[in-house]
Structure 1
């Protein structure tokens, strides 16, 4: 078997399909991650709210999405959101219907799951900073918004990068779940290739190697960001010594 020929581009190989699947995997990850980070902050603030119903709702949110298997969350959201959209469009325009794309369903499901864990990353990072920074900024007359933007946020990222970096790696791997709803990611394309060529070992090895490269590159990027975030702190400690 000409294994290298299986990776050729064009009609003779699966190289272009795998490249397309890689693009879908990366696109879904890059679209999901910023939304998940934003939701992580919102959920943490909801947990710290002075209003008890808001706190209860936020804790219920994290409990549900941390407890349910990711694949079950994806299936429920995909099929149930389709039913809700059809009901709404049928109510607004009788006889009409809209379909929810697998990409959008995957984005929503993964954002909800990752943000449930991300809220704990935000909580740990804020605890590492301490309340003294906020009290000092407020004593200088800074508004809560400017206190967070100018004082807390620059310090928060230094503590949050390792946690969010780990969640990014988890997100990269969890995108493989969307293959079950027929989104043409790496796993879905590899499955099609296997069904056609009957070479499961080769294609699983190929996509496994791709995921390893993605994780290694992500880990290196995370370490670079950590070093840059800590550079100013390290210099200050050296100068103070």
Structure 2
């Protein structure tokens, strides 16, 4: 066991750490992409533009209603087909294969964004409307009201939910192994196939996921305390 998990000639320790690094890269990139996408969708849902609300509702309903793996398949294989069609219009022949890394980030981030949209929308609705009216009475324009009143409080209310979305995003990175991206789950699969030790490597992968989830959970807990500083808490 020590030899197989070590860094020697027979060990898979370095590959597991590299896979863990790739998992974190995909998770962080997808989460940030999802935050931007979710923020835009939440803004459309709260806007007075009917077409924007319909588009945002369709996005969150469809993406949250289908398996994440299906979204990855559609974006990866559909993206390859679309890229091949585009280059054929330019006079080039032959199939086009997109890189697994950007497609994986795009797919996982698209799923993450659908959940982030609902969390951010709920956070915005939780801000007392009287505070917005007070900002208008003080002469603040819409941008200043958003920056100083809505955005800070929306993030404070949404932060616990965004922490859950991060955990979901982190776990969904394991699905991109189906497009041959060598992240933690893919390394564990290759290692168990080479050594015939599935329990060892899948358990190790699970422990590494738990370590990442536990550390990031602590970071989000500290962020919640920081965001809630100065806020009077209800007596228990």
What is the aligned counterpart of 1:79 among 77, 80, 102? 77
Distance 1:145 1:92 in 2: 43
Q: Tell me the residue number matched to 1:147.
A: 145
SS in 2 for 1:233: coil
TM-score, reference length from structure 2 = 0.94
Distance 2:127 2:46 in 1: 16
Q: Comparing 180-189 with 94-103, which one deviates more in the overlay?
A: 94-103
Cα deviation digits, residues 74-116 of structure 1 (max 9, x gap): 1111000111111112222423664311111111111111111
Q: Tell me the residue number matched to 1:44.
A: 42
Distance 2:39 2:6 in 1: 44
For the Cα contact (< 8 Å) 1:169–1:215, is it kept in 2? yes
Cα deviation digits, residues 204-223 of structure 1 (max 9, x gap): 11011111111111111111
Q: Comparing 174-183 with 123-132, which one deviates more in the overlay?
A: 123-132
Distance 1:119 1:130 in 2: 19
SS in 2 for 1:157: helix
What is the correspondence of 1:54-93 to structure 2 with a 5 Å cutoff? 54-93=52-91
Task: Give runs of ≥4 in structure 1 deviating > 4 Å.
Answer: none
For the Cα contact (< 8 Å) 2:81–2:96, is it kept in 1? no
Within the alignment, does 1:159 sit opposite 2:154 as a pair?
Answer: no
Please state how far the C-alpha of 1:68 moved relative to its aligned partner.
Answer: 0.5
Q: Tell me the residue number matched to 1:17.
A: 15
Please state how far the C-alpha of 1:48 moved relative to its aligned partner.
Answer: 2.3
For the Cα contact (< 8 Å) 2:45–2:52, is it kept in 1? yes
Gaps of 5+ in 2: none
TM-score, reference length from structure 1 = 0.92
SS in 1 for 2:11: coil
Q: Comparing 49-58 with 78-87, which one deviates more in the overlay?
A: 49-58
